[in-house]
Amino acid sequence: MHKVERREQGATRRSILQLLRRHGQMSAVELSAALDIGAVGIRQHLAALEREGLVYICGLRRNVGRPAHLYALTERAEHFFPKHYERLVCELFESVAAMGGEVAGQEGLGQRRNALHATLAPQLAGKV
């Protein structure tokens, strides 16, 4: 297989993963319509993604005619999508500092620590 074909396959598979992430569950026909690619081709990509452990069949959609498999992302596939939590936390700290300074930030962190302790202490009792 040529490099260009492999690159196109990779782009199509990334598009499939992105659509499944956005919509949760989709059939091969829905993916086919969204990407303007034949359903047979989409099913081949889905089979490859399933072998790689990135998608799984999560159910059936029963319409007129033959039922359609619904596909969804596996937990492993979620690792392909960065969450950017670090940036969010930094932005929150900057906002708190701008509104009330360091004291407000310390109070907010203290409240969060107390809430986490109240939630987790019973679960961790006797385990630590």
Instruction: Please tell me the predicted confidence (pLDDT) of residue 4.
Output: 41
Residues 73 and 112 in one domain: no
Identify the CA nearest to 53 among candidates 82, 75, 30: 75
Q: What is the pLDDT of residue 3?
A: 47
Range of the domain at 128: 82-128
CATH number of residue 68's parent domain: 1.10.10.10
Number of domains in the chain: 2
Q: Are residues 37 and 50 in the same domain?
A: yes
Strand order through the sheet with 55-61: 26-27, 68-73, 55-61
Across 13-32, average pLDDT? 94
- Reported as a single tens digit per residue, the pLDDT across 58-115 is 988 877 777 889 999 999 998 888 777 778 777 777 777 777 777 777 777 788 788 8
Average pLDDT over residues 113-124: 80
The number of helices, as runs of H, and strands, as runs of E, in the chain is: 5, 3
Mean pLDDT of 15-34: 94
